[in-house]
């Protein structure tokens, strides 16, 4: 499990998902765009979901537990990017392994 530190708030996200989010979030922030990021609580936690507002002025840090970068899936990045450009913002959805085609590492 990796961690996004958003300001001082740690948010635990599985390393592979975090690598894909990093690409999409970095692209949006590089453009100066604000957006929401939503996810469901993982199994074993209380049932529910969370949403945060991502803004370029708020410090953001990605910490990965794995030392090697994950192989990225172009289709998963595209799914996340499409949701990022919607009015609902990024919804962290599971990877569609049937359509996964690896790209370069994060």
Kindly report the pTM of this predicted structure: 0.82
How many residues can be counted in the chain? 106
Tokens of 87: 């009015």
**15-73 pLDDT per residue, tens:** 999 999 999 999 999 999 999 999 888 778 888 888 999 999 999 999 999 999 989 99
List Cα–Cα distances, 106 to 17, 26, 44, 83, in angstroms: 11, 11, 28, 20
């Amino acid at each position: 499990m990796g961690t996004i530190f958003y300001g001082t708030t740690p948010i635990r996200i599985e390393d592979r998902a975090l690598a894909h989010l990093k690409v999409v979030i970095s692209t949006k922030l590089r453009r100066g765009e604000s957006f929401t990021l939503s996810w469901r609580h993982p199994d074993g936690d209380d049932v529910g979901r969370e949403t945060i507002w991502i803004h370029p002025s708020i410090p953001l840090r990605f910490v990965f537990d794995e030392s090697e970068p994950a192989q990225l899936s172009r289709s998963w990045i595209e799914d996340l990017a499409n949701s990022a450009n919607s009015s609902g913002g990024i919804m962290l959805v599971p990877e569609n392994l049937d359509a996964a085609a690896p790209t370069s590492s994060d």
